[in-house]
Structure 1
Amino acid sequence: MPSILVRSLLVLSSLGLAQDALPPSADRPVDFREEIKPILDARCVSCHGPDEQKSGLRLDAKEPALLGGDLGPAIEPGDSASSYLIHKVAGFQGESIMPPEGDPLSPAEIGLLRAWIDQGASWPEEADDSTPERRSSDHWAFQPITRPEPPSVHHEEWPRSPIDRFILARLEAEGISPSPEADRASLLRRLSLDLIGLPPTPEEVDAFVQDDDPGAYDALVDRLLASPHFGERWGRHWLDLARYADSDGYEKDRPRPDAYRYRDWVIDAVNRDLPFDRFTIEQLAGDLLPDASLEQQAAAGFHRNTLTNTEGGVDQEEFRVAAVVDRVNTTGSVWLGLTVGCAQCHSHKYDPITQREYYQLFAFFNTADEADLPLAEPTADDEAKEESVPRIRTFAEQPPDRRRASHVLIRGDFLRPGDPVEPGTIAVLPPMEPSGDRADRLDLAEWLMRPDHPLTARVAVNRVWYHLFGRALVPSMEDFGTRGEPPSHPELLDWLAIEYQRLGWSRKELIRTIVRSAAYRQSSAVREDLEPIDPENVLLARQNRVRLEAEVIRDVALSASGLLTTEVGGPSVFPPQPEGISELTYARSARWEESQGADRYRRGMYTFFRRTSPYPMLTTFDAPDANVCAVKRSASNTPLQALTLLNDEVFVECSRALGLRALAEDPSLPADRAFRLALGRLPTPEESALLSGLRDDLLAAFRADPGAAAAFLGDEPIPGLVPPEEAAALVATARAILNLDEFITRD
């Protein structure tokens, strides 16, 4: 009996000492997912996880964690002071402290673990990495893609392609009929804007409308796909994903004079229809290809578009890690359609992505150093002025003996490295088969393009569909995960994904397939019968009206006025912008030297884009800021947009050129000619009467103030013997035409 009493006193004494020596327990409720699991994932799982269980202990899953290991239970729910896990992480009473490498857990972290155990060691099933939901998923986007058979339909006369059968079957099930085909002029304008981002000329409209050849539409599609401007239009879509800009970002935001070489590579790759699998591989790992060409190394500039901080006194490692994080998140958004960034600080709340898997993806990019390769051998003069040497922005992989180690970063903090990790992918997706002992970016790129990958093709065709219909089949384009929206036509999505691969990943062939469909060719006219049934046109009983992107709005104005410079590629240009905009940057050091001559009227995608003071016309019409990947642009409607179309210097010049061009081309009906040049169609009698009335009112005003007419026209020469007042009235009318909703809308 005394021995039992003594033993009990010793145990109680030991517990008392433990309470005194251990960091105190947090005095508040603790959330396992937010606060405990990140600690276990970052500091414990590499040695006590699914791949290795030292001392027989596994801490990534509920059941084995509570069961314990070779030394017995490590967690005593309700009693942290007796829990062996706490003793080990605190180094209590001479225990070897865990984890054995890296910094020990902080007192605050130990306090969180203690509080969690004292509060019962709750471990929600949805946060258990051993559950089927974490390692597999019945979510539609993670399922293998199979080619569905196009369904049978009642109205066999409507479908032009298998695409139409999927859409019509859904419409017939809802008792809805598709819309009639758009008129020929509207079809031509739609195709031109969608495929090359430029409006057709009146002569092109006349030729197409009058062409009764059954193959005229297909020939038009072929011509537009072969245009060098196709690469500009669809390259600009890609640059949103690539967060392309001409400056570094952050406070100093220094210019990147050679950034345009990546932009030009994209345009060229799209024009020559580089298959999407090669397009992917060269951008993610062009520098790793055998005997990589300069063009392939330029392609790797995709991930050199991250922000760069050149401020003095900053911790360069912090911003290097931030760039790597951006590369991981962008890769996840662009190819996987997943919000992988949600797993940076803790395992994803909703999708089967663990924090450890996030840092396995991180490891692919962590060993790549930024490199600038000269395009030619520098001369003595170049060496004296280093920035004058033309360069390619690319990557250089670190050699194995100097390879940077990667770790799980606790709570995403670069100063708190946890367990080491090697490059790897997400367990819910098909396994990677590395080409060597250690996977690299080339392996990652090839894994993304595997035929059995369930996400890449779905995400890619969904994006193409969006740009042709104004609404994606999966509206949450950036999130194919469990919290994203389901596809409106899942069988069609999978059919397109398989078809894209069957076509050899040809972007042009995929687009050709879609735009030849009856669904694409429908009228966009709003139908009253659809309003109560399908107000958002999810079922695609008609085409959608779409507001043009910022760059295209500029382009169509320049094109209609005859000012557009159609040169493809080259350094970025500096069109007119309001005074003082560029001086808003760091220390007012930026200068905006206005381009003159033909460069003044280049397409919008060539405008120099400075991250801290972007070109105001572009941002007014919702161009992304290029700081992060933009999967989808917003479309706002603000008074600033109307004011920009009226008063922006370039649009004022466009209205002058449009009005005077119309006067020269049709002196008898110049307002109607200006209307047609801008909108691709003749005005209706009612519209023509309105234009005439507006022009008459403006003419009366200018006749009352001849000086205003001269000032309004500037130095522009007036065609023929037209009085300045009449020319000014027509220019003002053209200004109104360029402000019409139809002008900035694709029907």
Structure 2
Amino acid sequence: MSQDRPVGNSHSPATVQNCGVKIHSAPQPNRSPTTSPCGSRQQGVSNSGHERHLVRFDHVRRICEAGISVRYAAALFVRSGLTMQFDLRSHRHMAWCCVWACTAMWLALGVSNDVVGEERPTRTMTWSLREDFQTGAGRENPTSDRDGEPVWHFLRTTRSEGPIESRKWLRDGRYVPLGEKGDRIFGLPFDGWIFRLTPAESPVVSVASEDKAAGLSVHRGDIVIAPGPEHAVIVGWESPVAGMLEIQGSFEHVQSSGGITWYVERGPQPPADTNHGFDPVRLASGQSVFGTESQKGSFTVEGQKVAAGEFLYFIVDARLDGTPLPHAGDGTRLDVTITVRDAVVSAPPSFETNILPLLAARCHDCHGTDVQEAQLDLRTLSEILRGGENGPAVVRGEPNRSLLIDLVAQGQMPPGKDNHLSSAEVALLRRWIAAGAPAEENVVALPPRAQVTETDRAHWAFQPPRQIAEPEVRHTDRVRTAIDRFLLARLEAKGLGFSPDAERTVLVRRVYLDLIGIPPEPAAVEAFLKDERPDAYERLIDELLKSPHYGERWGRHWLDAAGYVDGKLDNDLGTIYPSNGIWRYRDYVIEAFNDDMPFDRFLTEQIAGDELVDWRQAETFDARTRSLLTATGFLRHVDDHTDFDQYGIEKRYEVINETLDMFSTAVLGLTFECCRCHNHKYDPLPQRDYYRLMACFEPAFNPHAWKKPKDRYLADVSPKERVAIDRRNTEIDQQVAELTKAETMLRQQVRQRMLETRLASIPDAIRSDVRQAVEQPADQRGEVAKYLAEKFAKSLAIADADVDAALSDTERESLRTSADQRAALPARKQTYGVIQALWDVGQPPVSHVHRRGNVKAHGVLVQPGFPEILQPVATPASAEGTGSLGETSGRRLALARWLTRPDHPLTARVFVNRVWHHHFGRGIVETLGNFGHSGSEPSHPELLDWLAVDFIEHGWSVKRLHRQILLSTAYRQSSRRPGRGSEESGTDVSGESLDPDNRLLWRMNLRRLEAEIVRDAVLAVSGAIDRSAGGPPVEITNPADGLSEAKPAPTPTSPNRRSVYLFARRVYPLKILEIFDAPIMPVNCTQRTNSATVLQSLAVLNSEFLFTHSERMAERIREMAGPEIGQRVRLGFQIVFARQPIESELARSVAFLNEQAQGYVSTGNPVEQAGPMALADFCHMLLSSNEFLYVE
């Protein structure tokens, strides 16, 4: 506003001229088109000075459209000194703009003192360095306070005097900012500003991201500053207001040695030119020396007036103690609170007067009437608060949490290097938001912008499972379960039908391998074949579902999805790092499947078991509490390197991201990974939803209160029990130590008594010298002492046996009693195991979108929530924790309850599809971990929905789901193709041509055994299998050639335990398993590959494992079948294939055994050894066959 004339109630047209508003009716000469701040072209606009804003014709039009009152718009022009210039020859059809402008000016010049010149209010204002540093926008330098004012400056000195041993850094106002920002500075949990990052060199101003006790004693959130070898460190505070000043704070040296000198001073702003400075005024000073009373130097300053723009300086320099580098490494905790009373504050900016015209001029091209990019409309406060795709643009009272400030302050918006808002304009927006975003508008709470359309919801996987009626079919004689109706309806529509049932021998082997992963024993096959009851097959299924081996078989499938491994940091073949106690999670999974734990409960316990019980306050842990805590190990399997100090917050978020990847593919059947950086390319999964879901996990994976892998263990007893046990064990250790000390002292007394007796035989003249030489440490003896010690060493040496012989009966009895007591004490100690669990740590952190996936680039604030596409529009679930027990957020429990809602589109579908896959070799949806648009379509969508609904309605029982599938005709079919050995196929031969991939299941799929089942089956048929369950994993070797094997410990049969109990490595699984496609676990495995390679054939033919167990199988056959070769062949076929050989197989096998035995004799082997050797070769041949490696 012009300063030469005050604003009054009436003005002549000349006054309008003086107010800086010029209206030109003619074009300016030689005027070329210019570009507006938002990038559009304009004609006839002149720049009338550095301090004046330029209002274009289209700005006026937009202001009119925005509905701004003429009065407020005119007031803006007057206050801002706006210059309006129009080329009326270019805008003759819009001449009314001139009229509008003149009227606006006239009314503005008549505004009353409530608009211009009102008395400014006062208030008490407080600043905290700790709070502002942590909440400042991006922790920039300078860092803003909560009102958005850039008040905190991180500086260093530039000049010094004197030699290095006594150098004095001059506090002369010639200060410059610290210019580099880093995380985990010096490899420590300190994030902030530093003089130089590479190589790292102080001064530094930082915040501790976690507790640190070694070397530095700080807590998360502490502000830690340190001078450098060349500069003192300074934290400056720039007062944004005038008033009465109060300062409270402390400097505390927190390193284990050294000390600092500190100063509190005031002065003007540091000059931009370091050739000039100023003489500061000292307000307080002192020293802080570690380990002394001065370690914490507190200060209080009161009664000082401060002017707006004046600085306070908090300076740390090293003590002048003569050390070569007096300014290095003196970490100091700085705590400062500044209060200004009677602070004169400006009236907050008005939305209509100050903010909306700015937005209209700079933002409405892309976020206004015609265009609303990212669904963001900035024309009204209601729409601004509503926001767009990335959430609200403004959070009232929180400029540092407002997306609008985030984008304009960092120059991301408006687009274009030359279009960025000035610092004054950004400060205006900050002040307005900090004041609560006041407006005269009647603000309406609008619902958030929907990023999911009805078209998006139309995708089959994003709709709740439907209750489907069973279809009618013609061939009802082939229907055994509802599953058959759905499959047969599709087959009949193609003119196809089911294949004949498989032979009973094929069926029994199929069911055994599918349900328990071990081939049936010949006796079990025989019993089933002889069982003529109609429900014999159903009885067999029920028997196998009750087997403890069922959980081992089906638990392995879930462990794949969870990414289970027994080790960590598996980057080197030759080094194995066990992950202590994680095996308890594996046992939990196996027991859960054996107990037929309802899947909804199974899932809930794994996601939020710790929130279902108040374990922190429990007097004792019962079995249920231990089980609930163990279940949360589900979320503890991803690769984690954060034990190492050099890894900062990026690695922590990498762990969180990979945990979310595992969870989403295993439970939701969706790929979320790309949403870290942007909206999903194929599925309606906005980036915001990714971070809302992440917020459900962040209280437990708290990046600012991080639990390193070494700290993620809970005792399997309650905290109270653990304290009592530790205390009792300490007492026992003390008793042992006291008894040991007493025994040692007694023996020493006897030894001294014997020494005195022997010294008595030495002449008096040298006795004292000899005693001193003997008792003196060898490295402290002089020449004489060395001579005497060597001369009398033998005669004065007293062995332990000599002491024992010299003990009196009383002494001997005392030692014996003490030794007995000491030996008995350790047995009284109690022990406890460890559980790798997940639990909430500290207060839930504030969650943001990470722009482009950069953890340091905080975007819009997000609240915990679930993907919008999976939520019912009418009744969306809340992620706010309710019903949880103990000190926890309850967010994961809310997540689990949302997942197990009956109307959830994916949870039941994904799981029943996975079970279907493991029974048929292919899921109804082939991509088990991807039900989105980029995944495959279901082959039988109605069947999938029917299975999911039925699964939910019958209590989420997994064993019941197995029975439904295994009892169906579809499952019982033969896998043989027509015309390929099946004498009575009964199958329409057109199946090969109409459905060559067997998607419609007109026959059973031929499936190769998984890696673990190949190994387990070899162990089972050889008779060597160790069926013991649970416990720590069996260790495996790590030879240089990579041919790893199971170790024979802790029992001789440990190498023969089932594969699920072998030590599971992330990158280097047991070699025989790796060859048969045991997965590498970068995160998890929702679907294994199924390859057929030459390497597999070579391994089977040359594996020492196969050689060993072929010989054991041969021994077993000889013991069971006797000497008759034909009987041995028949038993071999029964053990390996669960069937009798046909005549041709029998004849060829007998001939092979005879020829092989003769061959061994001819090469010099004894006759009595030739037969067993030939039988071992025969067994090896059977184990190498496709029939053994595949399930028909």
TM-score of the superposition, structure 2-length normalised? 0.52
Change (3 A) 1:436 1:375: closer
Distance in 1, Cα, partners of 2:367 & 2:904 = 26
Change (3 A) 1:392 1:316: farther
Change (3 A) 1:499 1:648: same
Please tell me whether the aligned partners of residues 147 and 495 of structure 1 are also in contact (alpha carbons under 8 angstroms): yes
- Note the 1:722-733 alignment, pairs <5 A: 723-733=1168-1178
Change (3 A) 1:499 1:488: same
> Which of 135, 153, 165 is equivalent to 2:473?
153
- Structure 1, unmatched stretches of 5+, are 22-41, 43-53, 75-87, 90-94, 118-127, 584-589, 710-721
For residue 308 of structure 1, what is the aligned residue in structure 2? 640
SS at match of 2:607: helix
For residue 1149 of structure 2, what is the aligned residue in structure 1? 691
> Which of 565, 585, 589 is equivalent to 1:262?
585
For residue 581 of structure 1, what is the aligned residue in structure 2? 1042
**Does 1:393 pair with 2:836?**
yes
Distance in 2, Cα, partners of 1:179 & 1:518 = 9
SS at match of 2:577: coil
Change (3 A) 1:366 1:173: same
Deviation of 1:131 after TM superposition, in Å, equals: 6.6
SS at match of 2:632: helix
For residue 556 of structure 1, what is the aligned residue in structure 2? 1017
SS at match of 2:1024: coil
Deviation of 1:595 after TM superposition, in Å, equals: 5.8
For residue 813 of structure 2, what is the aligned residue in structure 1? none
Please tell me whether the aligned partners of residues 583 and 1031 of structure 2 are also in contact (alpha carbons under 8 angstroms): yes
Please tell me whether the aligned partners of residues 622 and 633 of structure 1 are also in contact (alpha carbons under 8 angstroms): yes
Distance in 1, Cα, partners of 2:665 & 2:1115 = 47
SS at match of 1:686: helix
> Which of 603, 614, 618 is equivalent to 2:1069?
614
- Note the 1:281-292 alignment, pairs <5 A: 281-291=604-614
> Which of 911, 930, 934 is equivalent to 1:479?
930
**Does 1:64 pair with 2:372?**
yes
**Does 1:677 pair with 2:1106?**
no
Deviation of 1:231 after TM superposition, in Å, equals: 0.5
Distance in 1, Cα, partners of 2:400 & 2:1012 = 62
**Does 1:413 pair with 2:868?**
no
Q: Which moved more, 1:453-462 or 1:431-440?
A: 431-440
**Which has the greater radius of gyration?**
2
1:360 is matched by which residue type in structure 2?
Answer: R
- Note the 1:292-691 alignment, pairs <5 A: 293-309=625-641, 312-369=644-701, 370=707, 371-376=712-717, 377=722, 380=729, 390-400=833-843, 403-430=844-871, 431-434=876-879, 436=881, 440-527=891-978, 529=989, 530-574=991-1035, 580-581=1041-1042, 596-666=1051-1121, 667-668=1123-1124, 669=1126, 670-691=1128-1149
Please tell me whether the aligned partners of residues 251 and 309 of structure 1 are also in contact (alpha carbons under 8 angstroms): no
Deviation of 1:679 after TM superposition, in Å, equals: 1.2
Deviation of 1:110 after TM superposition, in Å, equals: 6.2
Please tell me whether the aligned partners of residues 575 and 595 of structure 1 are also in contact (alpha carbons under 8 angstroms): no
Change (3 A) 1:494 1:15: closer
SS at match of 2:566: coil
* RMSD over aligned Cα atoms: 3.8
Please tell me whether the aligned partners of residues 576 and 594 of structure 1 are also in contact (alpha carbons under 8 angstroms): no
Change (3 A) 1:212 1:113: farther
Change (3 A) 1:575 1:527: farther
Deviation of 1:342 after TM superposition, in Å, equals: 2.3
- Note the 1:211-226 alignment, pairs <5 A: 211-226=531-546
SS at match of 2:849: strand
Deviation of 1:619 after TM superposition, in Å, equals: 1.1
Please tell me whether the aligned partners of residues 576 and 595 of structure 1 are also in contact (alpha carbons under 8 angstroms): no
Please tell me whether the aligned partners of residues 134 and 353 of structure 1 are also in contact (alpha carbons under 8 angstroms): no
> Which of 253, 264, 279 is equivalent to 2:602?
279
Change (3 A) 1:110 1:101: closer
Deviation of 1:428 after TM superposition, in Å, equals: 1.5
By percentage of residues, which structure has more helix? Answer: 1
2:865 is matched by which residue type in structure 1?
Answer: G
Please tell me whether the aligned partners of residues 605 and 632 of structure 2 are also in contact (alpha carbons under 8 angstroms): yes
- Structure 2, unmatched stretches of 5+, are 1-22, 42-49, 51-137, 139-354, 384-392, 421-447, 616-624, 702-706, 735-830, 883-888, 980-988
Distance in 1, Cα, partners of 2:488 & 2:1018 = 37
Distance in 2, Cα, partners of 1:307 & 1:60 = 43
* Percentage of matched positions with identical amino acids: 37
Change (3 A) 1:562 1:575: farther
SS at match of 1:373: strand
Distance in 2, Cα, partners of 1:207 & 1:15 = 88
Deviation of 1:310 after TM superposition, in Å, equals: 5.3
Please tell me whether the aligned partners of residues 576 and 650 of structure 1 are also in contact (alpha carbons under 8 angstroms): no
SS at match of 1:419: strand
Please tell me whether the aligned partners of residues 1047 and 1055 of structure 2 are also in contact (alpha carbons under 8 angstroms): no
Deviation of 1:611 after TM superposition, in Å, equals: 2.1
Q: Which moved more, 1:180-189 or 1:407-416?
A: 407-416
By percentage of residues, which structure has more strand? Answer: 2
Please tell me whether the aligned partners of residues 1046 and 1062 of structure 2 are also in contact (alpha carbons under 8 angstroms): no
- Note the 1:106-121 alignment, pairs <5 A: none
Distance in 2, Cα, partners of 1:348 & 1:270 = 35
TM-score of the superposition, structure 1-length normalised? 0.81
Change (3 A) 1:16 1:488: closer
Deviation sequence 1:50-93 (CA, Å, 0-9, x none): xxxx9798989995338852389x9xxxxxxxxxxxxx99xxxx
SS at match of 1:519: helix
Change (3 A) 1:615 1:310: farther
Distance in 2, Cα, partners of 1:393 & 1:383 = 27
Distance in 2, Cα, partners of 1:12 & 1:195 = 77
Q: Which moved more, 1:732-741 or 1:138-147?
A: 138-147
Deviation of 1:111 after TM superposition, in Å, equals: 9.8
Change (3 A) 1:291 1:133: same
Change (3 A) 1:515 1:102: same
Change (3 A) 1:355 1:4: farther
Deviation of 1:254 after TM superposition, in Å, equals: 2.3
Distance in 1, Cα, partners of 2:519 & 2:1071 = 23
Deviation sequence 1:631-672 (CA, Å, 0-9, x none): 110011112212222333332221111111112211213233
Deviation sequence 1:320-350 (CA, Å, 0-9, x none): 2111111212221122211122211100111
Please tell me whether the aligned partners of residues 866 and 879 of structure 2 are also in contact (alpha carbons under 8 angstroms): no
2:913 is matched by which residue type in structure 1?
Answer: N
Deviation of 1:457 after TM superposition, in Å, equals: 1.1
Deviation of 1:362 after TM superposition, in Å, equals: 1.0
SS at match of 1:178: coil
Deviation sequence 1:359-379 (CA, Å, 0-9, x none): 111111122045310124365
Distance in 1, Cα, partners of 2:26 & 2:908 = 70
For residue 122 of structure 1, what is the aligned residue in structure 2? none
> Which of 496, 499, 506 is equivalent to 1:176?
496
1:746 is matched by which residue type in structure 2?
Answer: V
Distance in 1, Cα, partners of 2:998 & 2:416 = 51
Please tell me whether the aligned partners of residues 182 and 521 of structure 1 are also in contact (alpha carbons under 8 angstroms): yes
Distance in 2, Cα, partners of 1:579 & 1:677 = 36
Deviation sequence 1:688-746 (CA, Å, 0-9, x none): 22222322332122112345x8xxxxxxxxxxxx8111101110111111100111111
